Amino acid sequence: MFASLLANPEAARSDLYVFCDGPRDQAAGAAVGEVRDVVRGLSGFRSITIVERETNLGLADSIIEGVTAVCAKHGRVVVLEDDLLVSPHFLRFMNEALDLYKDEAAVMHVSAGAYPVEPSTDDDTYFLRVPLCWGWGTWDRAWREYRRDLALMREFGGHMRREFDFDGTYNYWEQLVLNKEGRIKTWFVFWYATLFLRGGLALFPRQPLARNMGFDGTGVHCHPTHRYDVDLSPDAIPVAPIPVAESAGMFESHRRFFRSVSPGPAGRARHRATKMLVSMRRART
């Protein structure tokens, strides 16, 4: 991830913040130490600030605290997790988009990643109601609206739940329910819920500039699959003003895609079993 980020010409003019979570148990200590050795050896950015947690916050709290801190200091943030591969044009796109829409209240999120859908727009960028966290950015004015608050579920009427689930094609509402029951602890679905309830939109490039590499079986929160594989755009993606409204064509493309990948009850059971087997194999090794 760092190597691909350093291939961006803008990296040398960028301030890098690295948040290293503490090990979740004694067994993870050595791996966390190896990661920190890599981070301490970094160079090539304008400045590097490393935050090494003494305790394990977990993904959700680590993301929330890191984004909050950087937004408060700089007014905006570009966020990368460690299993991403980005294009050499990634930072240019993110910076141009964050500049162009900085005062547009309805635009709350910029995604450099994209789902593997067939583009149904001639524009270089488009808007959707649902964000994507595989290489993304936002502004302090939007992030201040973020609510990781189960009380927001009461703001959803019955018809809104289907809209939230992308016309009933993906189980976003179920993720809120699982958080409420304490079975998972995530941050992203609450960010999406915040956008949804505020009428906010996420900007996407027509072709992806970031790819999630964690679906190869190494990602803790990603089960092995090729469904999300994308080819990074070989060219820069221009960021020009477009109407701030959800793209009807791209909504339909994503609706079809979500329907194709969203598991039913049997699929969810297989997914849980696969994650359990992966965890058991890791425990043995």
Q: What is the pLDDT of residues 125-141, one digit of tens each?
A: 999 999 999 999 999 99
**Buried residues in 187-225 as b, exposed as e (16+ CB within 10 A):** bbbbbbbbbbeeebbbbbbbbbbbbbbbbeeebeebeee
Q: What residues have CB less than 8 Å from 126, skipping those under 6 apart?
A: 203, 204, 206, 242, 247, 250
Per-residue pLDDT averaged across 66-92, rounded?
97
- As a residue count, the chain comes to 285
Band the pLDDT of 278: cuts 50, 70, 90: very low
Q: Three-class SS of residue 226?
A: coil
Domains and CATH numbers, the chain: 76-270 (3.90.550)
Band the pLDDT of 224: cuts 50, 70, 90: low
The residue ranges of DSSP E strands in the chain, in sequence order, are: 15-20, 47-52, 76-79, 84-86, 107-111, 125-128, 136-139, 201-205, 210-212
Check pLDDT > 90 for residue 101.
Answer: yes
Per-residue pLDDT averaged across 37-58, rounded?
96
Sequential DSSP letters for 37-67: HHHHT--SSSEEEEEE-SS---HHHHHHHHH
DSSP 8-state assignment for residue 170 = S
Check pLDDT > 90 for residue 160.
Answer: yes
Q: Three-class SS of residue 125?
A: strand
**Which neighbouring-strand residues pair with 211?**
85
User: Which of 103, 90, 125 is CA-nearest to residue 202?
Assistant: 125
Identity of the amino acid at 231 = D
Query: What mean pLDDT value characterizes the chain?
Result: 89
Q: Output 264 or 127, whichever has higher pLDDT.
A: 127
Cβ atoms 40, 50 nearer than 8 A: yes
- Residue 81 to residue 212: CA distance in whole angstroms: 9
Cβ atoms 216, 83 nearer than 8 A: no
Check pLDDT > 50 for residue 34.
Answer: yes
